[in-house]
Amino acid sequence: MNKTLPTKIQSLSRLLLALGVITVVTSGTGIALTQPRQAQAQEELRTITISPPTIEHPIKPGDTSEGTMRIINEGTTPLTFNVTMQDFIVEDTEGKPTLIKEDTMSNKYSAASWIAVYPTQFTVAPQSRYELRYYIKVPPNARPGGHYAAAIFRPDSVLSVSGTGTAVQTQVGTLISVVVDGPVTEKAEVSLFDTDRFMEYGPVDLKTQITNMSDLHIKPRGYITVKNMFGKTAFTLPLDERNVFPEAARDYVNTFGKKFMFGRYEATMTATYGLSNSLPLSASVAFWIIPWKIIVVLVLIIVAAILGGMYLKKKKKSKPSTTPTAETETPQQSAS
């Protein structure tokens, strides 16, 4: 790992958390940072893995549930963690979770107060794992639909960052979705399905955005079919299965094709979503790929060849005839 790139490492860690991959090298990475302090003289590389990165529990109002989580210390020194529960929301179109301070989130989607983790403080020896339990108790009057919280693991020790002169404290976590049984609104739409309508060359970047107006998160499943100007299927592209949280949108990008393509194409997305995965989503867009510069050059070459041929033909016809005529020799009369 390049130790001179802590900012890029931090961004990568946040993306991994959003995508459900919680393997973190704690040399200045995590979903949040504390106030910088003076760094220690030497950096310690510490790797933490949380499993599972995401948990989903369907549950009825008033019921309870439980499960286990594991944290693996792949470093060379023991690590002590404190565990807290925090609500989270997703506000951007990339699916990145944002932790919410206590008592600042609407109860509509809150779940942090329903979940407890035991123990709340523990130490993981180097090159070993630690298992802890979580407990969920849903109130009898809980609103049907999705409720969201994150179990946040904060190390006690301050970790230095190489080359920056500051020290940071990392935090990683498991995202927990509690889906309370009952009548819910399930509604989503394709808010964007588009690409450049006229292109000179491929490949093609096809952009999709799905907006979720349901009471719970959805995970659309489907594919995109691209047909050429003859109506034949040229490409079949899977739609990535990603969570789209309530009152949020999610962006997708499918790239396909090669540089040299020609003609009219039509892309159609067909997908489903919902608790029973039976609600439809669909959209289509047509676009052209014409390498017009190459075509212009070819046309100019053809026109030049035709004009050149016509010029040579005309010149040949207008050239005067140079065919010699035969001379008839007249014999001289002999002298008398």
Element (H, E) at 159: strand 159-160
Rounded Cα distance, 182 and 266, in Å:
40
Longest dimension (CA), the chain: 155
Low-confidence ranges of the chain (pLDDT < 70): 1-46, 102-106, 158-170, 319-336
Give residues with Cβ within 8 angstroms of 166, minimum separation 6.
Answer: 36, 37, 38, 39
**Among residues 249, 253, 242, which one has the least CA distance to residue 92?**
249
Q: Residue 6: phi, psi to the nearest 5?
A: -65, -35
Residue whose pair of structure tokens reads 């339990």 in the numeric block: 133
Residue 28 to residue 158: CA distance in whole angstroms: 10
pLDDT for position 325: 54
Give the model's pLDDT for residue 329: 52
Phi-psi region of 59 (alpha: psi -120 to 50; beta: other; left: phi over 0): beta
Closest among 188, 181, 207 to 273, alpha carbons compared? 188
Give me the pLDDT at residue 224, please: 98
Residues of the chain with CATH 2.60.40.10: 6-180, 188-289
CA distance 79 to 77: 7
Instruction: Output the pLDDT for position 170.
Output: 65
The phi, psi pair for 32, rounded to 5°, reads -155, 155
CATH superfamily of 188-289: Immunoglobulins (2.60.40.10)
Residues 287 and 264: their CA atoms lie apart, in Å, by: 6
**DSSP string covering 166-205, please?**
EEE---EEEEEEEEE-S-----EEEEEEE--SEESS--EE
Residue-by-residue DSSP string for 8-42: HHHHHHHHHHHHT--EEE-SS-SS-----EEPPSS
Q: Is the pTM here over 0.85, yes or no? A: no
CATH code for 6-180?
2.60.40.10
Least Cα distance to 16 among 54, 46, 58 occurs for: 54
At 233, is the secondary structure helix, strand, or coil? strand
The candidate with the shortest Cα–Cα distance to 162, out of 323, 41, 324, is 41
| Residue 181 to residues 62, 142, 308, Cα–Cα distance (Å) | 10, 9, 80
114 neighbors 138 (Cβ within 8 angstroms) = yes
Give residue for tokens 């009952």.
182
